[in-house]
Amino acid sequence: MTDTAAVRPGNRVYIDKQHPDAYRALTATAQTVKEAAAAAGLDRTLVELINLRVSQINACAYCLDLHTRAALRAGETTRRLGVLAAWRDTDLFTPGERAALALAEATTHPADAGAQTAAYAEARSALSDEEISAVIWVALTMNAFNRVSIMSKHPVRDGGEARTTPQR
């Protein structure tokens, strides 16, 4: 039985609308993780960098849009956001941020045991146990939201922002 209110263009079901209790449980988990990250001392900009890097890997347009705006509101710079996909090739990120990003990537690609070992070693040298746990929880939660948006094909709508350069 289908509820046409939850079915969207492209024959996708908005699973967050189809099973709102499950989605509310996920958002409650996300709130708990946000509080744990703050209690662990993770800066809001770092949390948004993790959210963005995970969303880049998963190619989740909806979450990339949402968390780019959140990162900017949290004080992140457009320069760092612009090079986030290539964070290893720049010195714009601190050792702690680099360790967190590596750990988030390893969490997103759990089958890569070598990357996990390397990420954990880097994290051990730059982050506390509390921070390591919080980073992993942030990445796990972001991965879950990415799957919801990707499988539902949540749209990215034009927000009417001004362009900084003319279109070609």
Longest alpha-carbon distance in the chain = 54
CA–CA gap between residue 147 and residue 43 (Å, rounded): 25
Could you list the pLDDT tens digit for every one of the 168 residues in the chain?
A: 445 555 555 688 999 999 999 999 999 999 999 999 999 999 999 999 999 999 999 999 999 999 999 999 999 999 999 999 999 999 999 999 999 999 999 999 999 899 999 999 999 999 999 999 999 999 999 999 999 999 999 999 887 565 554 454
> Where are the domains positioned within the chain?
18-151
Contact 96, 127 (CB under 8 A): yes
CA–CA gap between residue 158 and residue 155 (Å, rounded): 10
Contact 152, 7 (CB under 8 A): no
Residue 53 CB partners (closer than 8 Å, separation 6+)? 84, 85, 87, 101, 104, 105
Q: Would you say domain 18-151 falls under CATH 2.60.120.10?
A: no
Contact 18, 6 (CB under 8 A): yes
CA–CA gap between residue 101 and residue 78 (Å, rounded): 17
Please report which residue ranges of 41-111 form alpha helices under DSSP H.
44-58, 61-73, 78-83, 95-108
Q: Which helix (H) or strand (E) holds 12?
A: strand 12-13
- Tell me the pTM: 0.89
Which residue bears the tokens 């990162």?
Answer: 71
CA–CA gap between residue 160 and residue 105 (Å, rounded): 32
